[in-house]
Structure formats: structure tokens, C-alpha cells
Structure 1
Amino acid sequence: MQGSTMQTSLSFELENRKKELFKMAMRGKWKEVVSIYAADSKIHEVKITRSGDTALHVAASDGQEDVVEQLVEIISRGGLVHAEEVLLTKNERGNTPLHIAASMESVKMCSCIAMVKPSLIGAFNNDRETPFFLTALRGKKEAFLCLHKICEPGQGSSYCRRMDGETILHCAIAGDYFDLAFQIIHLYKELVNSVNEHGFTPLHVLASKPSAFKSGSNLRLWNSIIYHCIFVDDLKVEEPSYARESLIKSFKEEKNPNHPENYQSCINFFRLLGNALRIVVYSRDPKKQNKSDAENPEGSNVALNGKKNGKEPTPASEGQHICPSNYSTCIEFVKLIYKSILIVLGLGSNAIMKIREKKEKHKWSVQVMTKLLESTSMYEYEHTGETPQETQKDDGEETKPYEISDGDVQPLTPPNSADSSRSTNTQSTDNQKNSTNRKGGEPERETSEIGNKETAILIAAKNGVTEMVEKILELFPIAIHDMNAEKKNIVLLAVENRQPHVYKLLMKRNILRDSVFRKLDKDGNSALHLAATLGDYKPWLIPGAALQMQWEIKCL
């Protein structure tokens, strides 16, 4: 009787502490939360919200980096077993505190939690997503590099895929996080040829994103002038953020600021100027450039060049440049002046920043595309789109132009079109159009649109991605003969989907015109037949019926 009374008293006391902890966390009184955690280790695993979050979950979701660090330190005092149990506590969505920290792009929170036990990086939530996967899904590059550095050797690859087969590379490309995708390709080359359960490879995903390329964007005259005046650096392999320090910081990012907040732009200007002068001096003096630090032989080179061993990419390796390599110092000086002006103006107006972001996306998407194609052999290219792993498709089914948004595939057919959705019954033969749509007039979602006859170049041609079409033909000339299930080659698809730029590109290439331009599909339609047919998907990319007809005659 006495033992039962004591147990009731303890549970009542724990419930009171839980309520108190919840109130302190909701009011933002984190010092009191830390004190409660330090006083009683039993409270560490207690879930204080209806969604099953602990106080550590709440602190991480609120971005309280210092508080999370203190709580993890207190939890670690109870031993490794206790710390692992607490840090593996999941809410109703299956997320651990590290899942939350990874989604917040907090390198500090990710490192302090993951360093307790690196295997926490591989914990699955209800969607079988690891914290490592979430960094790519949310586009958190710094957190991704941090967790990659902490991962046990050889374990990172096992954390890269979720239950639907999507990999971190699929998600990074689908979310337009091309700077992150570039790092993933460098670190996990085996993901280049990976497919999800619908047969999509990262290259297919990229081919379905015309807005990621310059050929898919229309800029007005003034915006076009600004676009060409903006300098965008090539993507390079990066180190985790705690191994390098950003030159341009906000006032909040300064650790111990000894200047007023309104002086921050001036501080950034002199910091950038000093770094530029240091780079110029080291580039002029090979002895200084190759001289290593006795205490940190690699650190000095990393700090200056962002790469180990002091190796800096040559202009040829960085991509095509307008000026010769001996003009690089002058070009860097112009870039310095340009960046300085942007800093003085508060990093430029919103319109200029949007144009800059667009140019970054256009340039970096081409870099990612090049890396994907370079890492794919000819044999793998032929089978990547035609026979994806464990994916079968009807011979009679054809891929329509589609968009990918957040990893989901949606066809570009109009909602009210009677033939907007095709039957997904695997027993059906021929290409029959389905006259019934979902409720509410929405088209059926075609998640397996890349069949066993779809290659990346065909999808790129449909979507007007001339950069990818040109690069694939440069690396794999035999790809000009690729056809889909309808026996339509790249020329027929470009004409059918009203992509004149792709057609013009093919006209300029030295190819056998009889076998490519005079190709007939399985219904006997030539390119001229398809051009004269009213498009089910979209008209020519020019206004007016008369001009569209003129384009059709002009092209063919």
C-alpha cells in the first residue's frame, strides 16, 4: 500500500514537471528548461506536446542552437546508453531531434547531436527518411556536408534513399538545389545511375525541368542586359562549414562584434578587399602559394583556395571563358569591384538578386548536367531510360511533357482535356486515350511516365532543353536515333511539342537527314503532319494564330 502511494506520488510529481517544462518552453524561458533538465534525468525522455515532441525537439524546431547544445551536454552526462535512448526519442511523425535539426539547416545543432553517436544520422522516421536525407530534401547544403563528415566510413550511402526509392540526388535536383546536387555527385557517384520505384534517374528529373535552363527562360531587354552583366562563379567541391569561414556575414553571424550593426556593410567590404589582396599576392608568388604551414599543412591552403593542397582550378577546368587565361587577374578585379558595389548597396536590389539567382540556377544546372553525363557510361546511358530497375511499362504507352515539383510528377495536359489522362492498366494494349478523369476534372497523375522506351534526350526534346540535347548528342551521337513507344524520334517529338529551338539545333548538326528528319512514327505521321496538327499540349511559343502558322511553314 505504501509502495503504491509512493509510485503515485512520483508519477504526480513527474506530471507537474512535464507541465512546467511545457510552459517554460512555450514562453521561451529556455534557462528554466535547462535547469529542469539538469535537475532530473527522468524528464529527458518525457514528451511534452500532443505531437510527441520532447523539450529537445521543441528547442531544435525553434532554432535555439545554444540551448540544444546545453541540453545535449546535460543528456550526455547520463552515459552513452542513456544519451542514445533520449536522442532516439521520436515524435508522432517518427522524427528524432536530429531530424528537426537537419531540417533547420543548423550545422551547430546537427554536429552537437550527431557527435554523441554517429549512427543517429541513420535513424528512420515514418517515411523512412533519415536526417541525412532530410538535409537534401530541404536543400540544406551546410547541414548535409556536416553530417557527411560525421558519418561513419561507408555508412553514408545507406542513408541516401527513402521508401519510394527517391535518393538525395533526385530530391536535390527536383528542388532546384543544384549547388547541393553538385556536392552529392562528387561524394556519392553511385547515385548518378540510381532509379526510384517509377524508373526515374536524376538525369530524367533534370530533363523534365526546362525552367532550370536558360533555354527555358524568357527575359526582357533590360533584364537580359543585367543578366549578362552578372558574374556567377562555377560550383566547386566544398568543405563543411566548420572548416571554412564565410567572408560576407550578417551582423547576427558575427561571434563577438565590436562594431555597431550599421557598420556591417563596411566591415564586409574591407574583409572582401583584404581577402582579394591576399589571393592576388599568393597567386603572384608561387613560393608563398606552395609554402605550407608547419602546424596546419592543409589548413592554410583550404582557407585560401577552399580546396586541399592549394590546388586552384584552371580557367579551362572551370568552364568556358570569354577572355584568355592571362586576363584572369583583370577579370577577378572587375568581379571584386562588382561585388563591392553590391555590398555597399546592401547586396543589390531585389530585382537584381532575382536575376542573379536565375543565372546561378541556369549555370549550375548545366554543370550538374555535365557531371551526370560524364559519370554515365555509354552502356548505362542506353539502359537508364529504356529499362529502369524493376520497372515495367506498356509498349503502347507514351510519355507526355511533365513537370516535377518537390519530387512529384505532374503531366502538363490541360485539366478539361478529354484525353488528358491515359489508362494505367498494364493489361491494355495500344495507345488508347482515357475519356474519364478524376473527380473534380483533375487529370490522372502519371507517376510512371518514363517507360521502357523513354530516354533522357527524348524528354529533354519534349521540354525544349536544348542544352541537354546538345550535350547528349556531343557525348553520345548514337542517341539521335532514340525513339519512344510511338516510334517518334527526337525530331518528331520536338515538332509535336512545339519546340522550334530544338528543331533548329538539329538542323545545324551534321547528321543523316534522311534517317532523322524524314522519320515516320507508327501511324505514318511525318514532322510536317505533326506540325500541322493542333497541339494537345501547347501551341508554338509565339503569340497569334497567323504567326504560329508562319512558324510551322518556316520550320518545315
Structure 2
Amino acid sequence: MEIEEENCLDNLFDLTMKNKWNKVEEAYKKYPSARRAKLTKSEETALHVAVSSYHSKRSSNYEHHIEGMIRSIPKDERFKILSMKNDKGNTPLHLAATVGWISICKCIAERNPELISTRNLKGETPLFVAAYHGKLEAFIFLHGHYNQKPVQQTDQQNKGQEPDESLCRREDGNTILHSAISGEYLKLAYQIMSYYPKLVNSVNVEGESPMHVLGRKANLFRSSTHFRLHDSIIYRCVFVDKLKKSPSPHKSMYSPRNGVNCPENYKTCIGIFRLFFIPIHESIRAGLEKITRHCCSNDEENPPKREKEPQTGLEKHSKQHGGSNDEENPPKREKEPQRFWRIRRIQEKKERHSHALQLMNEMIESELRYKYNNTGRKPEHLEPQYSQRVPPPPIPPSNQ
């Protein structure tokens, strides 16, 4: 039995490198030493390697085997195995948050919620790592799961329902808001401002606030972008949505959304619109297909394509020296996707500019509130008190 276990450990590295996770899962279930074995020079276990090799386009069987590895760990040694760190101090939950693997984050965090507060050598928690790499869904899940623990809810009741900000800062003083803005993850930065409003006025060891970081990102604002005339017209015509706080951070990641994402009072109007529009649309499309087939069958100038015939030397010579107009006049079908792509790029730029401006305005507003609440300064928008007082009479002229 011991010889068989030693042979399995010797082959475990090869199995992980070849992505044979079904056999790795079997070894995880059968041999306890396979769960604790560090396979690489960076002191990573098989679970570290499995999580770090994640790709969104891989099959669901791969994810099923990784979840099976986690479930197979006995309860009495679950925390010890899942809290094992590599040479950088990262646990498997750190790596899952880095790549944004929601299901593995959920699988680990539900078994040991305290792992969300584990720090690596840089002092980063999995929550911080998710924000640093711009993984919005992973960040929202970890934030919601940690702040919904019973122990955490008891602490929040004593603190006035304020979220725990201790997980949001690393050793150099940078917060998750610093990191999100530095990486230009504006949607994530807005969610962080919504959940942790006090981080807007936080500073790192160099005395920089998130507003300083945003101010250095000149490319995020309209003034740094120059458009040609027709592009500027498109820029003014496209519409972008404003940033909004996620209403249910803990449940929205796993509740499937069917239909149109709109308010409840709009669904009736959309249903009536679909009732009339879909039959009309199907009729028009069927008619266009029929007309197209009829035109193609009767078109003498554009006969159907035939198989390629062998070219003579004269034809090849004429094509090489500009005898063909295919390159000079490409078909319109090739130009249309480029036009849509161009409009999409302009819309993305406007969205980035709009979101950056919205973040800046809310940071300035938060800064004014912070100064008033903490320095005692009088806000400018308030009217002066005791306005009913009568002004004093003028000083009488002196008699000389």
C-alpha cells in the first residue's frame, strides 16, 4: 500500500502537467498525502496548479473534477489543506479570485469563510486580489459572502452596519479602490465606492488618495481624445448608461436572468411590443429571403459561383500586375463589419469617459462631505442662520 502511494505521488506531477484531472481527483480521494504534497518549485499543491490553469473556454468536466477534489477533503483537515500557501503566500482561494473563477471561489468560501481574510506575503486578501485583477463578479461574491457571515453581522450591528474594511488594504497602504482605478476597472471602482464609501478618502504610504490615481489617468477623459469630424458626430450621437450599484451582490451572480433586463413596470410594454413586432419581423424576413432567391436565380450579370478553373499563364500575369480589381474594390460585405466595429470602439471610448467623469464627480462630492464632517468647515450651500435678525442701524455722523 505504501509503495503504491509513493508511485502515485511520483506520477502526480505528471498528471497535473498533462491536465488529467480525473486521475488527480482519484488520487485526492484515495491518498491523504496527495492533498498535502507540494509538486512545484514554487511550493504549489495539485489544487494550486489546478486552479491556476483555469480558462473560461475549457469544458465543464474540468470544473467538475476540481470541485470534486475540494469536496473529497475530509472535514477535520479541510481548513489545513485549503489554507496551504505557495512561495508567494497565495492559497487556492487567492488563485481562484485572481482568475475570476466564481464556482471555485464559492466552493471554497462556503466551506471555510475565514479563508477570505487570509493574507499573502504582500498582505493581500482574496478580496483584494479580485479587485486588483479587475474580476468584478468574483469581488462581488467574496464581498457579499464575507459580510453575510453571522459573526460578521454581529460586528456590523455594533458598528452601525458598516462593512469590514480591514480586508481592503495591503501593506503599502493601497486599497482596493486604488487598485481598481489604477487598472482602469471603472465599473468595479464604482461598486467599491458604493460598498466602502470611506475608502474614497483613504491614502497609501505615499499620501496618495484614489482621486490622485484617477487624476493621473488622462486617457480616461474626453479632453485627451481627438476625433475626426465624422467620429465626433458619432461620439455625440451614441448613448451610454450611467454606473449603478449592484442591488443584490450575493445573489445576482447565481440567479439566471431570463428575458430583458428592465424594470418590472416596463415588461408589459415590451410584451405588447413583441406581440406586434415579431410577426411583422418574421414576415419581412421571409419576404426578403424569397426576393433574394428569385433575384439570384434570374441574375445574368452575377451567375452562381462555379468551381475554380485552372488559370493560364496570361491570366496569372495580369492578376500579378494589377489586372484584377478585387483588391482595389473590396465587396461591401467586408466594409460593413468594419463600420460597426468602428462605432463600437467610439461607444466604448465614450463609456469610459462618462464613467471616469462620474467617478470623479462623486469623489469630489465625497471629499466635500468628509471635510465638513471631520474638520468642522461650514458647507457653502447652507443658508446663514438667524436670518430674521434686523441689521444694526447706521453709525450717526460725528459732530465736529
TM-score (norm 1): 0.48
* Structure 2 residue 383 is the aligned partner of structure 1 residue 372: no
1:280 corresponds, among 239, 263, 266, to: 266
Q: 5 Å matches for 1:71-110?
A: 71-75=69-73, 78-79=74-75, 81-110=76-105
1:174 and 2:195 matched: no
Q: Determine if contact 1:121/1:147 at 8 Å carries over to the other structure.
A: yes
Contact 2:25 2:66 in 1 (8 A): no
Q: What is the correspondence of 1:429-448 to structure 2 with a 5 Å cutoff?
A: none
Q: Judging changes above 3 Å, is the alpha-carbon distance between structure 1 residues 279 and 189 closer, same or farther for their aligned structure 2 residues?
A: same
2:165 maps to which of 132, 157, 162: 157
Q: 1 CA distance for matches of 2:356 and 2:380?
A: 19
Counterpart selection for 2:256 from 222, 245, 251: 245
Larger radius of gyration: 2
1:410-463 deviations in Å (ceiling 9; x for gaps): xxxxxxxxxxxxxxxxxxxxxxxxxxxxxxxxxxxxxxxxxxxxxxxxxxxxxx
Letter in 2 for 1:236: K
Aligned partner letter, 1:160: C
Q: CA deviation at 1:276?
A: 6.2
Is the contact between residue 5 and residue 31 of structure 2 (CA under 8 Å) also seen in structure 1?
A: no
TM-score normalised to structure 2 length:
0.66
Distance in 2 (alpha carbons) for counterparts of 1:95 and 1:347: 43
Contact 1:193 1:380 in 2 (8 A): no
From the superposition, tell whether residues 20 and 352 of structure 1 become closer, same or farther in structure 2 (CA, over 3 Å).
farther
Give the equivalent residue in structure 1 for 2:67. Answer: 69
Question: Does the residue aligned with 2:178 lie in a helix, a strand or coil?
Answer: helix
For the 8 Å contact 1:185–1:371, the answer to whether it is kept is: no
**Matches for 1:537-548 after TM superposition, within 5 Å:** none
The residue that corresponds to 2:24 in the other structure is 33
The verdict on how the C-alpha distance between 1:246 and 1:53 changes in structure 2, with shifts beyond 3 A counting, is farther
Match for 2:344 among 350, 353, 360? 353
For the residues of structure 2 that align with 1:126 and 1:105, how far apart are their CA atoms?
20
Q: Give the partner amino acid of 2:177.
A: L
Structure 1 segments of 4 or more deviating over 6 A? 345-348, 381-384
Change (3 A) 1:17 1:380: farther
| Cα distance change on mapping 1:37 and 1:243 into 2, 3 Å | closer
Tell me, yes or no, if the aligned pair for 1:148 and 1:156 is still in contact at 8 Å. Answer: no
Cα deviation per residue 1:319-339 (whole Å; 9 max; x = unaligned)? xxxxxxxxxx9xxx9xxx9xx
- RMSD value, Cα: 3.2
Q: Distance in 2 between matches of 1:348 and 1:120?
A: 48
Q: Distance in 2 between matches of 1:146 and 1:347?
A: 37
Q: Given the superposition, is the C-alpha separation of residues 47 and 236 from structure 1 closer, same or farther in structure 2, using an over 3 Å criterion?
A: same
- Residue 19 of structure 1 corresponds to which residue in structure 2? 10
SS at match of 1:36: helix
- Flag the 1:149–1:50 CA change in 2: closer, same or farther, 3 A: same
- Identical positions, percent: 40
In the other structure, the counterpart of 2:111 is 116
The answer to whether the 8 Å contact 1:170/1:205 transfers is yes
Determine if the alignment matches structure 1 residue 236 to structure 2 residue 218. no
1:133 to 122, 128, 133: 128
Relative to structure 1, the CA distance from residue 48 to residue 194 in structure 2 (aligned partners, 3 Å threshold; closer, same or farther) is: same
Where does residue 197 of structure 1 map in the other structure? 205
- Mapped to 2, the partners of 1:279 and 1:347 lie a distance apart of 37
Letter in 2 for 1:146: F
| 1:10-51 Cα distance to aligned partner (Å, 9 max, x none) | 4x6544322322111111211111111111122111111221
Question: Alpha-carbon deviation of 1:283?
Answer: 7.1
Unaligned runs of 5+ in 2: 55-61, 157-162, 282-335, 382-400
Q: Does 1:206 align with 2:196?
A: no
